[in-house]
Protein backbone atom coordinates (compact mmCIF):
# COMPACT_ATOMS: atom_id res chain seq x y z
CA UNK A 1 0.00 0.00 0.00
CA UNK A 2 1.27 3.46 -0.83
CA UNK A 3 1.25 6.29 1.69
CA UNK A 4 -1.63 8.53 0.71
CA UNK A 5 -0.55 11.16 3.25
CA UNK A 6 3.01 11.15 1.97
CA UNK A 7 1.90 11.53 -1.64
CA UNK A 8 -0.47 14.32 -0.74
CA UNK A 9 2.27 16.15 1.18
CA UNK A 10 4.71 15.76 -1.72
CA UNK A 11 2.09 16.95 -4.16
CA UNK A 12 1.35 20.12 -2.19
CA UNK A 13 4.72 20.44 -0.44
CA UNK A 14 4.91 24.23 -0.85
CA UNK A 15 1.80 24.69 1.26
CA UNK A 16 3.11 22.23 3.80
CA UNK A 17 6.59 23.64 4.09
CA UNK A 18 5.24 27.15 4.32
CA UNK A 19 2.87 26.41 7.19
CA UNK A 20 5.47 24.09 8.71
CA UNK A 21 8.00 26.91 8.85
CA UNK A 22 5.46 29.25 10.43
CA UNK A 23 4.60 26.62 13.00
CA UNK A 24 8.31 25.92 13.42
CA UNK A 25 9.11 29.49 14.40
CA UNK A 26 6.39 29.25 17.02
CA UNK A 27 7.85 25.98 18.29
CA UNK A 28 11.29 27.64 18.26
CA UNK A 29 9.95 30.33 20.56
CA UNK A 30 8.48 27.66 22.81
CA UNK A 31 11.75 25.74 23.02
CA UNK A 32 13.57 28.99 23.73
CA UNK A 33 11.18 29.84 26.56
CA UNK A 34 11.96 26.46 28.10
CA UNK A 35 15.66 27.24 27.51
CA UNK A 36 15.29 30.56 29.33
CA UNK A 37 13.92 28.71 32.35
CA UNK A 38 16.71 26.11 32.19
CA UNK A 39 19.20 28.96 31.89
CA UNK A 40 17.83 30.58 35.04
CA UNK A 41 18.08 27.34 36.98
CA UNK A 42 21.56 26.79 35.62
CA UNK A 43 22.61 30.32 36.56
CA UNK A 44 21.42 29.63 40.09
CA UNK A 45 23.34 26.37 40.24
CA UNK A 46 26.43 27.99 38.75
CA UNK A 47 26.26 30.63 41.46
CA UNK A 48 26.14 27.97 44.16
CA UNK A 49 28.85 25.85 42.53
CA UNK A 50 31.13 28.81 42.00
CA UNK A 51 30.86 30.00 45.58
CA UNK A 52 32.65 26.81 46.62
CA UNK A 53 30.63 26.49 49.82
CA UNK A 54 28.90 23.60 51.56
CA UNK A 55 27.07 25.83 54.01
CA UNK A 56 25.82 29.41 53.80
CA UNK A 57 25.70 31.23 57.14
CA UNK A 58 23.44 34.29 57.08
CA UNK A 59 21.44 36.62 59.26
CA UNK A 60 18.76 34.81 61.28
CA UNK A 61 15.22 34.85 59.84
CA UNK A 62 16.41 35.72 56.37
CA UNK A 63 16.73 33.66 53.21
CA UNK A 64 20.01 35.46 52.45
CA UNK A 65 22.26 36.25 50.87
CA UNK A 66 20.82 35.80 47.33
CA UNK A 67 17.07 35.79 47.82
CA UNK A 68 16.90 38.28 50.70
CA UNK A 69 19.12 40.92 52.26
CA UNK A 70 21.31 39.56 55.05
CA UNK A 71 23.81 41.29 57.22
CA UNK A 72 26.05 39.71 59.85
CA UNK A 73 29.09 40.87 61.81
CA UNK A 74 32.34 40.35 59.94
CA UNK A 75 34.06 38.60 62.89
CA UNK A 76 31.63 35.70 63.22
CA UNK A 77 33.59 33.61 60.73
CA UNK A 78 36.16 32.97 63.46
CA UNK A 79 33.50 31.28 65.61
CA UNK A 80 32.54 29.17 62.65
CA UNK A 81 36.12 28.07 62.08
CA UNK A 82 36.05 26.62 65.58
CA UNK A 83 33.10 24.30 64.77
CA UNK A 84 34.00 20.63 64.26
CA UNK A 85 34.06 19.61 60.62
CA UNK A 86 34.61 23.13 59.31
CA UNK A 87 37.61 23.34 57.06
CA UNK A 88 37.25 26.91 55.81
CA UNK A 89 34.97 29.87 56.46
CA UNK A 90 35.16 33.17 54.67
CA UNK A 91 33.22 36.41 54.64
CA UNK A 92 31.55 37.46 51.47
CA UNK A 93 29.53 40.44 50.27
CA UNK A 94 27.26 40.70 47.27
CA UNK A 95 26.14 43.94 45.73
CA UNK A 96 24.35 44.22 42.40
CA UNK A 97 24.97 47.52 40.67
CA UNK A 98 25.33 49.32 37.35
CA UNK A 99 28.94 49.68 36.23
CA UNK A 100 30.09 52.12 33.59
CA UNK A 101 32.04 50.70 30.69
CA UNK A 102 32.88 53.50 28.32
CA UNK A 103 29.59 55.00 27.23
CA UNK A 104 27.71 51.80 28.08
CA UNK A 105 26.56 50.45 31.39
CA UNK A 106 26.67 46.85 32.48
CA UNK A 107 24.69 45.35 35.31
CA UNK A 108 27.03 43.31 37.43
CA UNK A 109 27.19 41.67 40.83
CA UNK A 110 30.15 42.96 42.78
CA UNK A 111 31.46 40.23 45.09
CA UNK A 112 33.70 41.12 48.01
CA UNK A 113 36.07 38.20 48.68
CA UNK A 114 38.01 37.55 51.87
CA UNK A 115 41.76 38.18 51.78
CA UNK A 116 42.92 34.58 52.47
CA UNK A 117 43.89 33.99 48.84
CA UNK A 118 42.82 31.64 46.01
CA UNK A 119 40.85 28.60 47.11
CA UNK A 120 39.03 30.53 49.82
CA UNK A 121 35.24 30.06 49.56
CA UNK A 122 33.85 32.85 47.41
CA UNK A 123 36.94 33.12 45.25
CA UNK A 124 36.63 32.25 41.58
CA UNK A 125 37.97 28.75 41.05
CA UNK A 126 39.21 29.19 37.49
CA UNK A 127 40.47 32.19 35.61
CA UNK A 128 40.39 32.28 31.82
CA UNK A 129 42.94 35.09 31.67
CA UNK A 130 45.19 37.13 33.96
CA UNK A 131 45.78 36.42 37.62
CA UNK A 132 43.98 36.42 40.96
CA UNK A 133 43.76 39.48 43.20
CA UNK A 134 47.01 39.82 45.12
CA UNK A 135 46.79 43.28 46.61
CA UNK A 136 44.30 44.03 49.34
CA UNK A 137 42.89 47.05 47.52
CA UNK A 138 41.72 48.28 44.13
CA UNK A 139 42.19 45.15 42.09
CA UNK A 140 39.34 43.34 40.40
CA UNK A 141 38.65 40.06 38.60
CA UNK A 142 35.78 40.49 36.12
CA UNK A 143 33.69 37.95 34.24
CA UNK A 144 34.17 38.20 30.49
CA UNK A 145 30.42 38.75 30.12
CA UNK A 146 30.90 42.20 31.66
CA UNK A 147 32.99 43.12 28.64
CA UNK A 148 35.86 44.41 30.77
CA UNK A 149 39.34 43.55 29.49
CA UNK A 150 42.54 42.97 31.45
CA UNK A 151 43.97 46.35 32.45
CA UNK A 152 40.61 48.14 32.24
CA UNK A 153 39.75 50.40 35.13
CA UNK A 154 36.35 49.95 36.73
CA UNK A 155 34.82 52.66 38.86
CA UNK A 156 32.83 51.30 41.80
CA UNK A 157 31.40 54.08 43.97
CA UNK A 158 34.30 56.44 44.62
CA UNK A 159 37.20 54.07 43.87
CA UNK A 160 38.77 52.77 40.69
CA UNK A 161 39.76 49.13 40.31
CA UNK A 162 42.16 47.60 37.80
CA UNK A 163 41.03 44.39 36.12
CA UNK A 164 43.78 41.80 36.69
CA UNK A 165 41.90 38.59 35.82
CA UNK A 166 38.93 37.24 33.92
CA UNK A 167 36.43 34.47 34.64
CA UNK A 168 33.78 32.73 32.58
CA UNK A 169 30.15 31.96 33.57
CA UNK A 170 30.48 33.48 37.00
CA UNK A 171 26.99 34.91 37.30
CA UNK A 172 24.44 35.94 39.89
CA UNK A 173 21.15 34.09 40.19
CA UNK A 174 19.64 36.56 37.77
CA UNK A 175 22.42 35.98 35.27
CA UNK A 176 24.38 39.19 35.88
CA UNK A 177 28.13 38.68 35.48
CA UNK A 178 30.31 39.01 38.58
CA UNK A 179 33.13 41.39 39.44
CA UNK A 180 35.32 40.26 42.34
CA UNK A 181 37.03 42.86 44.51
CA UNK A 182 38.77 42.67 47.92
CA UNK A 183 36.37 42.34 50.86
CA UNK A 184 37.46 45.56 52.61
CA UNK A 185 36.81 47.61 49.47
CA UNK A 186 33.48 45.89 48.96
CA UNK A 187 32.42 46.59 52.53
CA UNK A 188 33.36 50.24 51.98
CA UNK A 189 31.35 50.34 48.79
CA UNK A 190 28.34 48.54 50.18
CA UNK A 191 28.02 50.13 53.56
CA UNK A 192 29.47 53.47 52.56
CA UNK A 193 27.86 56.57 53.84
CA UNK A 194 28.15 59.67 51.73
CA UNK A 195 30.28 62.59 52.87
CA UNK A 196 27.33 64.56 54.09
CA UNK A 197 26.09 61.76 56.30
CA UNK A 198 29.58 61.26 57.75
CA UNK A 199 29.97 64.97 58.52
CA UNK A 200 26.55 65.07 60.14
CA UNK A 201 27.35 62.03 62.27
CA UNK A 202 30.73 63.43 63.33
CA UNK A 203 29.04 66.64 64.38
CA UNK A 204 26.35 64.85 66.39
CA UNK A 205 28.90 62.59 68.06
CA UNK A 206 31.25 65.40 69.01
CA UNK A 207 28.33 67.45 70.34
CA UNK A 208 27.24 64.52 72.47
CA UNK A 209 28.64 65.17 75.99
CA UNK A 210 28.76 61.45 76.65
CA UNK A 211 31.48 60.97 74.01
CA UNK A 212 33.19 64.35 74.18
CA UNK A 213 34.47 64.28 77.77
CA UNK A 214 37.18 66.68 78.64
CA UNK A 215 38.76 64.19 81.10
CA UNK A 216 38.95 61.29 78.63
CA UNK A 217 41.18 62.06 75.70
CA UNK A 218 40.83 59.72 72.67
CA UNK A 219 37.29 58.64 73.49
CA UNK A 220 35.74 60.85 70.79
CA UNK A 221 38.18 59.55 68.14
CA UNK A 222 37.48 55.94 69.10
CA UNK A 223 33.74 56.51 68.93
CA UNK A 224 33.91 58.18 65.51
CA UNK A 225 36.19 55.47 64.22
CA UNK A 226 33.81 52.76 65.38
CA UNK A 227 30.92 54.46 63.68
CA UNK A 228 32.53 54.92 60.32
CA UNK A 229 34.09 51.48 59.95
CA UNK A 230 31.85 48.78 58.40
CA UNK A 231 31.95 45.56 60.35
CA UNK A 232 29.24 43.81 58.30
CA UNK A 233 29.20 41.20 55.55
CA UNK A 234 26.28 39.50 53.79
CA UNK A 235 27.21 35.94 54.54
CA UNK A 236 29.92 33.55 55.60
CA UNK A 237 30.67 30.78 53.15
CA UNK A 238 31.65 27.59 54.94
CA UNK A 239 33.46 24.64 53.45
CA UNK A 240 33.33 21.40 55.38
CA UNK A 241 35.82 18.59 55.75
CA UNK A 242 35.18 15.71 53.38
CA UNK A 243 32.78 13.36 55.14
CA UNK A 244 31.43 16.01 57.52
CA UNK A 245 27.61 16.10 57.61
CA UNK A 246 26.27 19.48 56.39
CA UNK A 247 23.05 19.19 58.40
CA UNK A 248 24.96 18.68 61.65
CA UNK A 249 27.01 21.80 61.02
CA UNK A 250 23.83 23.64 60.07
CA UNK A 251 22.12 22.61 63.32
CA UNK A 252 25.15 23.77 65.29
CA UNK A 253 25.02 27.21 63.65
CA UNK A 254 21.28 27.53 64.16
CA UNK A 255 21.71 27.22 67.90
CA UNK A 256 23.71 30.43 67.88
CA UNK A 257 22.19 33.85 68.24
CA UNK A 258 21.58 36.05 65.22
CA UNK A 259 22.64 33.42 62.70
CA UNK A 260 21.12 30.74 60.57
CA UNK A 261 22.62 28.41 57.97
CA UNK A 262 21.56 26.66 54.80
CA UNK A 263 23.01 23.59 53.14
CA UNK A 264 23.69 23.41 49.42
CA UNK A 265 20.43 21.53 48.94
CA UNK A 266 18.41 24.12 50.83
CA UNK A 267 20.11 26.94 48.96
CA UNK A 268 19.08 25.35 45.69
CA UNK A 269 15.52 25.11 47.00
CA UNK A 270 15.61 28.80 47.83
CA UNK A 271 17.02 29.83 44.46
CA UNK A 272 14.98 27.54 42.23
CA UNK A 273 11.89 27.13 44.38
CA UNK A 274 11.51 30.70 45.60
CA UNK A 275 13.68 33.21 43.78
CA UNK A 276 12.82 32.15 40.25
CA UNK A 277 9.48 30.52 41.02
CA UNK A 278 7.45 33.47 39.74
CA UNK A 279 9.52 33.68 36.57
CA UNK A 280 9.05 29.96 36.12
CA UNK A 281 5.28 30.34 36.41
CA UNK A 282 5.46 33.26 34.00
CA UNK A 283 7.26 31.06 31.50
CA UNK A 284 4.87 28.19 32.17
CA UNK A 285 2.01 30.50 31.27
CA UNK A 286 3.75 31.41 28.03
CA UNK A 287 4.32 27.75 27.21
CA UNK A 288 0.67 26.95 27.82
CA UNK A 289 -0.49 29.77 25.54
CA UNK A 290 2.01 28.84 22.83
CA UNK A 291 0.82 25.23 23.00
CA UNK A 292 -2.79 26.31 22.55
CA UNK A 293 -1.90 28.66 19.69
CA UNK A 294 0.14 25.95 17.95
CA UNK A 295 -2.72 23.49 18.35
CA UNK A 296 -5.15 26.03 16.91
CA UNK A 297 -2.89 26.62 13.92
CA UNK A 298 -2.36 22.92 13.20
CA UNK A 299 -6.08 22.22 13.63
CA UNK A 300 -7.01 25.06 11.31
CA UNK A 301 -4.51 24.11 8.61
CA UNK A 302 -5.32 20.41 8.66
CA UNK A 303 -9.04 21.12 8.76
CA UNK A 304 -8.78 23.47 5.77
CA UNK A 305 -6.66 20.99 3.83
CA UNK A 306 -9.18 18.25 4.58
CA UNK A 307 -12.17 20.34 3.52
CA UNK A 308 -10.34 20.93 0.25
CA UNK A 309 -10.24 17.17 -0.25
CA UNK A 310 -13.83 16.24 0.57
CA UNK A 311 -14.49 15.13 -3.01
CA UNK A 312 -11.39 12.92 -3.05
CA UNK A 313 -12.30 11.50 0.33
CA UNK A 314 -15.79 10.65 -0.92
CA UNK A 315 -14.25 8.91 -3.96
CA UNK A 316 -11.76 7.05 -1.76
CA UNK A 317 -14.61 5.83 0.44
CA UNK A 318 -16.69 4.89 -2.58
CA UNK A 319 -13.93 2.78 -4.08
CA UNK A 320 -13.46 0.99 -0.79
CA UNK A 321 -10.88 2.79 1.33
CA UNK A 322 -11.41 2.09 5.03
CA UNK A 323 -12.38 4.88 7.42
CA UNK A 324 -9.28 4.19 9.40
CA UNK A 325 -7.07 4.55 6.31
CA UNK A 326 -8.55 7.98 5.75
CA UNK A 327 -8.18 8.94 9.43
CA UNK A 328 -4.59 7.68 9.36
CA UNK A 329 -3.91 9.76 6.24
CA UNK A 330 -5.08 12.93 7.99
CA UNK A 331 -3.27 12.07 11.22
CA UNK A 332 -0.06 11.45 9.28
CA UNK A 333 -0.38 14.81 7.61
CA UNK A 334 -0.82 16.53 10.96
CA UNK A 335 2.20 14.65 12.30
CA UNK A 336 4.15 15.55 9.15
CA UNK A 337 3.35 19.18 9.72
CA UNK A 338 4.46 18.78 13.32
CA UNK A 339 7.70 17.13 12.22
CA UNK A 340 8.55 19.96 9.84
CA UNK A 341 7.56 22.45 12.53
CA UNK A 342 9.63 20.77 15.20
CA UNK A 343 12.71 20.52 12.98
CA UNK A 344 12.47 24.16 11.98
CA UNK A 345 11.82 25.15 15.60
CA UNK A 346 14.78 23.19 16.93
CA UNK A 347 17.14 24.65 14.34
CA UNK A 348 15.78 28.16 14.89
CA UNK A 349 16.12 27.90 18.69
CA UNK A 350 19.68 26.57 18.42
CA UNK A 351 20.49 29.36 16.02
CA UNK A 352 19.13 32.28 18.01
CA UNK A 353 19.70 31.09 21.60
CA UNK A 354 23.28 32.49 21.81
CA UNK A 355 22.01 35.92 20.79
CA UNK A 356 19.93 36.23 23.95
CA UNK A 357 21.40 38.54 26.60
CA UNK A 358 20.89 35.98 29.35
CA UNK A 359 21.83 32.35 29.32
CA UNK A 360 19.46 30.14 27.29
CA UNK A 361 20.14 26.48 27.98
CA UNK A 362 18.62 24.08 25.46
CA UNK A 363 18.64 20.63 26.98
CA UNK A 364 17.95 17.46 24.92
CA UNK A 365 15.32 16.43 27.48
CA UNK A 366 13.27 19.53 26.69
CA UNK A 367 13.63 18.87 22.97
CA UNK A 368 12.33 15.35 23.51
CA UNK A 369 9.46 16.62 25.62
CA UNK A 370 8.81 19.29 23.01
CA UNK A 371 8.72 16.68 20.25
CA UNK A 372 6.26 14.54 22.21
CA UNK A 373 4.11 17.58 22.98
CA UNK A 374 4.12 18.59 19.29
CA UNK A 375 3.12 15.06 18.27
CA UNK A 376 0.34 15.04 20.85
CA UNK A 377 -0.88 18.50 19.89
CA UNK A 378 -0.88 17.60 16.19
CA UNK A 379 -2.75 14.36 16.88
CA UNK A 380 -5.38 16.19 18.92
CA UNK A 381 -5.61 19.00 16.39
CA UNK A 382 -6.25 16.52 13.57
CA UNK A 383 -9.30 15.10 15.37
CA UNK A 384 -11.57 17.87 14.10
CA UNK A 385 -10.49 17.21 10.52
CA UNK A 386 -10.77 13.43 10.96
CA UNK A 387 -14.30 13.85 12.28
CA UNK A 388 -15.23 15.92 9.23
CA UNK A 389 -13.66 13.35 6.90
CA UNK A 390 -15.43 10.41 8.52
CA UNK A 391 -18.76 12.15 8.11
CA UNK A 392 -18.32 12.34 4.34
CA UNK A 393 -20.90 10.11 2.67
CA UNK A 394 -19.49 8.01 -0.19
CA UNK A 395 -22.80 8.75 -1.98
CA UNK A 396 -21.52 12.32 -2.41
CA UNK A 397 -19.12 11.00 -5.02
CA UNK A 398 -22.07 9.82 -7.10
CA UNK A 399 -23.87 13.13 -6.71
CA UNK A 400 -27.47 13.98 -7.69
Partner 1 sequence: MTDSGIIIEGLRKRYGEGDTAVDALRGVNMHVSPGEVIGLIGPSGSGKSTLLKCLGAVTDPTAGRMTLGGEVIYDEGWRIRDLRALRRDKIGFVFQSPYLIPFLDVTDNVALLPMLAGNANAAARGRARELLEALDVAHRDKAMPSQLSGGEQQRVAIARALANHPPVILADEPTAPLDSERALTVIRILNQMARQYHTAIIVVTHDEKIIPTFRRIYHIRDGVTHEEEGEGRELPGTP
Q: Which residues bind partner 1 (CB under 8 A)?
A: 1-2, 4, 7-8, 10-12, 311-312, 315-322, 325, 393-395, 397-400
Q: Say how many residues touch Mg ion, by CB under 5 A.
A: 1
Residues of span 361-400 touching Mg ion by CB under 5 A: 400
Q: Which is nearer to partner 1, 315 or 388 (CB)?
A: 315
Q: Which of 182, 23, 164 is nearest to 115 (CA)?
A: 182
Q: Which is nearer to partner 1, 296 or 395 (CB)?
A: 395
Q: Which is nearer to partner 1, 3 or 136 (CB)?
A: 3
DSSP annotation string for 83-94? STTEEEEEEEEE
Q: Tell me the three state secondary structure of residue 30.
A: helix
CB of 398 to Mg ion, least distance (A): 9
CB of 396 to Mg ion, least distance (A): 13
Buried b vs exposed e over 245-260: b needs ≥16 C-beta within 10 Å?
ebeebbebbeeeeebb
Quick one: how far is CA 15 from the chain centroid? Answer: 39
Q: Which is nearer to partner 1, 230 or 325 (CB)?
A: 325
Q: Which does 102 bind (CB under 5 to 8 A by kind): Mg ion, partner 1, none?
A: none
Q: Which does 355 bind (CB under 5 to 8 A by kind): Mg ion, partner 1, none?
A: none
CB of 400 to Mg ion, least distance (A): 5
Quick check: 363 and 280 in contact, CB under 8 A? no
Rounded-to-integer distance, Cα 165 and Cα 153, Å: 12
* β-bridge pairing 159-167 and 139-143: parallel
Quick check: 211 and 176 in contact, CB under 8 A? no
CB of 377 to partner 1, least distance (A): 25
Residues of span 221-280 touching Mg ion by CB under 5 A: none
Q: Tell me the three state secondary structure of residue 11.
A: helix
Quick check: 262 and 60 in contact, CB under 8 A? no
Buried b vs exposed e over 1-33: b needs ≥16 C-beta within 10 Å?
eeebbeebbeeeeeebeebbbebbebbbbbbbb
Q: Which does 193 bind (CB under 5 to 8 A by kind): Mg ion, partner 1, none?
A: none
Rounded-to-integer distance, Cα 176 and Cα 385, Å: 48
CB of 328 to partner 1, least distance (A): 13
Q: Which is nearer to partner 1, 239 or 317 (CB)?
A: 317
Q: Which is nearer to partner 1, 309 or 346 (CB)?
A: 309
Q: Which does 293 bind (CB under 5 to 8 A by kind): partner 1, Mg ion, none?
A: none
CB of 19 to partner 1, least distance (A): 17
Q: Which does 21 bind (CB under 5 to 8 A by kind): partner 1, Mg ion, none?
A: none
Residues lying near Mg ion in the complex (CB under 5 A) are found at 400
Amino acid sequence: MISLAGRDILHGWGKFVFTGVGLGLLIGVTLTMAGVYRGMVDDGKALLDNSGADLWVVQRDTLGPYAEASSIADDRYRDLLALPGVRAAANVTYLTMQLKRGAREVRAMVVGIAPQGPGTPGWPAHLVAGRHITRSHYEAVADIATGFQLGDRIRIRRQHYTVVGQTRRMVSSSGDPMVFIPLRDAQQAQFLKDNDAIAQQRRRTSENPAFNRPGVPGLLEAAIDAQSSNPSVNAVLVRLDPGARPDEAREAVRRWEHLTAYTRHEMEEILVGKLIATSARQIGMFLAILAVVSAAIVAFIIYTLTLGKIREIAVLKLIGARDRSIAWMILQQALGLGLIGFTVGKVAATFWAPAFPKYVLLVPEDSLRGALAVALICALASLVAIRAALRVDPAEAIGG
